């Protein structure tokens, strides 16, 4: 599962498409955690897609990650600022790749 203390345990490695990247990042095998309020561990995400389908405010969008061992696309929390903290995505992700931090 995603480490909910990633902001303490990882270093911010930069930003991609307006979304924070938390390392370590070594593409294509290691993609890190993306986002802050809504965070997705790209190294755990296997492109199930439930988060994209169920999020009521369309926070997520697919990004391609060719060569990643789990899946070749990931759910990027591109519109995390829109999140209403319903926690649906956290509940539906089959591999617990998502952390939402209300407040």
Residue number with CB closer to ligand SF4 (21 or 89): 89
How far is 50 from 67, CA to CA, in rounded Å? 22
CB burial readout 40-73, b (16+ within 10 A) else e:
bbbbbbeeeebbbeebeeebbeebebeebebeeb
Answer with the entry of ligand SF4, ligand F3S, none that 45 interacts with (C-beta below 5 to 8 A by kind): ligand F3S
According to CB under 6 A, which residues from 5 to 64 bind ligand SF4?
Answer: 38, 55-57, 59
Contact 77, 19 (CB under 8 A): yes
Among ligand F3S, ligand SF4, none, residue 57 binds (CB under 5-8 Å by kind): ligand SF4
C-beta of residue 65 within 8 angstroms of C-beta of residue 40: no
Q: How far is the CB of 6 from ligand SF4 (least distance, A)?
A: 16
Does 13 engage in binding with ligand F3S (CB under 6 A)? no
By CB under 6 A, name the binding residues for ligand SF4: 38, 55-57, 59, 83-89, 100
């Amino acid at each position: 599962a995603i480490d909910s203390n990633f902001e303490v345990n990882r270093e911010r490695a930069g930003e991609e498409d307006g979304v924070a990247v938390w390392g370590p990042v070594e593409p294509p095998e290691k993609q890190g955690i993306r986002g802050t309020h809504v965070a997705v561990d790209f190294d755990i995400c296997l492109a199930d897609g439930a988060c994209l389908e169920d999020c009521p405010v369309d926070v997520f969008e697919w990004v391609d990650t060719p060569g990643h061992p789990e899946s070749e696309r990931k759910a990027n929390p591109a519109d995390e600022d829109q999140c209403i903290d319903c926690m649906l995505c956290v509940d539906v992700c089959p591999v617990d790749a998502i952390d939402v931090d209300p407040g």
